[in-house]
Structure formats: structure tokens, C-alpha cells
Amino acid sequence: MKSKHLVGLLTSLLWSVLFATAQIPAEFWVIPANDPRFPTSGSGESWDTPMHFSVGQLNTWMSDTGPLDITVNFLPSTKVYEIFQSGQQPRLVIADTRANKRVKLIGKLFDGYDANGGGVGPSRPRPTLKMSNTLIYQGVWGVSGYEDKLLRSGRWVDNTDPNKPNRTSYIDRFAMENLILDGNFPELGVGTSAANATGYKLFALDVWAKKGLFSNLLIKNFGVVGAVPGNAFNAAGTETFPVMFTTFDDGQVPTRNEDGTVTGGDTVPQAAWLVDRVDVSDFHATHGGYATLVMAQVYTLANNLRADLSGSSLLSVAG
């Protein structure tokens, strides 16, 4: 028994060293724990041995202890991937402080895959990540009111030196594709009803990354409850942002010079962020709450000020 435990420990340490030194991309396959096709959790190394999904495991992969480059594949299922966590804690959170972290969360559209990665059988609906029906107050904004987020990363911390903005969990790249995110707003209880006078905001995504991709996503059943009584001079708490992402102008976009030449920047992607076929629907608003459904913002290094991304080469919108 001791030898098995020692072998397991050494294997875990070996993988940790490999991920830390060689930055080997890691790929995992997950399935809802109550999917009858896979009653036992597998290794997660391939589509036919998927691991039972858990919020805790995904958060571990997206933390400092996880691999630097990770892809998590969500297999299609008639069951939903339930997003919850006990206590006053966030749901899904990217808590990796390494700037070269890359995270991909990909919904798969086939039950099986061949040796070349091609889908086998008929295509299936996008997998659904759904908030549990237990309301969790994530934090306080303004004077009163609470908010929750299905997935978040990054933190902005004021810095006395404007040339050295403080970024926490600001990763290199984040991608999310082929998924349905269901906020389950009507089922979250009294906190999302008209009986709540202090306010509540429910986000789907709040991601900070140098580059990113949102593609083929359906964002539904998120919402906001405004504070009562309202204050015409302070609208804080009445607006929410179902899809929000933040980047810094770090020169990741090539500069087009007056003579037509292009210099600098990263080669892929040409825009720092690409938003492609993202549909926000079934939004719920109470007590005057409202939303900017897709909120893109960029901080500049010169003055730490946010700037509108409209028309900027940092952002590309397709579909």
C-alpha cells in the first residue's frame, strides 16, 4: 500500500516538474458525473475515458498548481455541467498568477473522435454549463448589493505608480468555444426576485487576458436586480455585464506604419481579442436593473485608464 502511494506521489511530482519546465500542453476530457454512459470517472486523457466534471478540479487546473497550457474538453451530454461551490466562494475562477498561462475551455460537438480528431457520428447540441440553484453572494459592490460570476479571472489593484499597473491572474490567452452558459437566474431564489431590495448582479464571464477568443457561445438566463430605492445620481449596482473581458495595450497588436509596413505585435491572433457568434439571450432585469450585454475594455500602460475598444485593432467582432 505504501509503495503504491509512493509511486503515485512520485508520478504527480514528475508531471508537476514537466509542466513547470517544458510547459507541455495538457488536455483533459470531462463529462457530467451523472451521465449514465460513464458511471465511473476515468483518467480524462481521452474522449472515451472522460473524468467526471467537478468545479474544484477545473479550478485546480486553472490555478498556479495546474499546467501552464491547458485545454479542457466538455463532452456533449443530456445532463448539464453544474457550476457551484460551497461557501462564500466564486464558481469557476482562473487564479493563476503566471503571465504565460493559457486556458482553453472547449465544448465538443460529437460523442466520439477518430485518430485524426474528427468527430464520429451525428453532431450533438453544445454542452451546457449551468449555475446551481443555490444563490451565492460573491461580494459587495458600492454601498450595498451583491454579485456572482460563473467564471472570472484577474483583479485590478490601484497602484501609486501609474507606469506599473498591478495585475493579478492576467493570463496570456483564454479561449471558450461551443458552449451554452446558463445563469439559471429565475431559479436562484429570493435574491434574484423583486423581494430583494439591496441589489444583485449575475455575470457569465469576467476574464482578464492578453489575448482571447469567445466563439459560438449562447449566454442565457443571467440578470440584475437594482437597489431599492434607486438613486438617480449613483447608478452603481443597477448595471451588469453578462460578458465582460479586459486586456492591456501591451503591444500585442502589430502597428501599421504610414508607409504600409507592419511592425511588432504577436503574429496570432492579429487582434488581441476575437468575439465570434456570441448570443446573449433571456436576460432578466428587476427594479430598473439593466445591462451592457458584451463589455470590452482595455487599460493603457501610460495612465491606467480604461478606453473604449470600439474601432480598436485590439478587438475583432465577427458574426
Confidence class of residue 14 from pLDDT cuts 50, 70 and 90?
very low
> What is the pLDDT averaged over residues 58-63?
92
Between CA 121 and CA 123 the distance in angstroms is: 7
What pLDDT score was predicted for residue 274? Answer: 86
**Eight-class DSSP state of 127:** P
Per the domain annotation, does 14 fall within a domain? Answer: no
Consecutive H or E run containing 312: none
Looking up cell 475583432, which residue turns up? Answer: 316
What pLDDT score was predicted for residue 202? Answer: 86
Per the domain annotation, does 15 fall within a domain? Answer: no
Single out the residue of 61, 41, 59 nearest to residue 50, CA to CA. 41
Range ranked top by mean pLDDT from 96-110, 127-141, 234-248, 258-272: 96-110
Whole-angstrom CA distances from 233 to 217, 230, 238 are 35, 9, 12
Better-scored residue on pLDDT, 4 or 132? 132
What pLDDT score was predicted for residue 29? Answer: 97
**DSSP secondary structure, 30-53, as one string:** EE-TT-TT--S---SSSTTSPEEP
Per the domain annotation, does 241 fall within a domain? Answer: yes
Per the domain annotation, does 10 fall within a domain? Answer: no
Per the domain annotation, does 165 fall within a domain? Answer: yes
Whole-angstrom CA distances from 210 to 94, 170, 287, 290, 305 are 14, 7, 36, 28, 16
Per the domain annotation, does 311 fall within a domain? Answer: yes
Per the domain annotation, does 6 fall within a domain? Answer: no
The dihedral formed by the CA atoms of 106, 110, 114 and 118, expressed in degrees to the nearest 10: -70
Per the domain annotation, does 5 fall within a domain? Answer: no
Strand-pair category, 69-74 with 102-107: parallel
Residues 27-46 pLDDT 10s: 999 999 999 999 999 999 99
What pLDDT score was predicted for residue 2? Answer: 43
What pTM was computed for the model? Answer: 0.81
Residues 108-147 pLDDT 10s: 999 999 988 899 989 999 999 998 876 555 554 444 457 7
Single out the residue of 260, 128, 238, 141 nearest to residue 183, CA to CA. 128
First-residue to last-residue Cα distance in the chain: 56
Domain residues for 107?
A: 25-318
Number of domains comprising the chain: 1
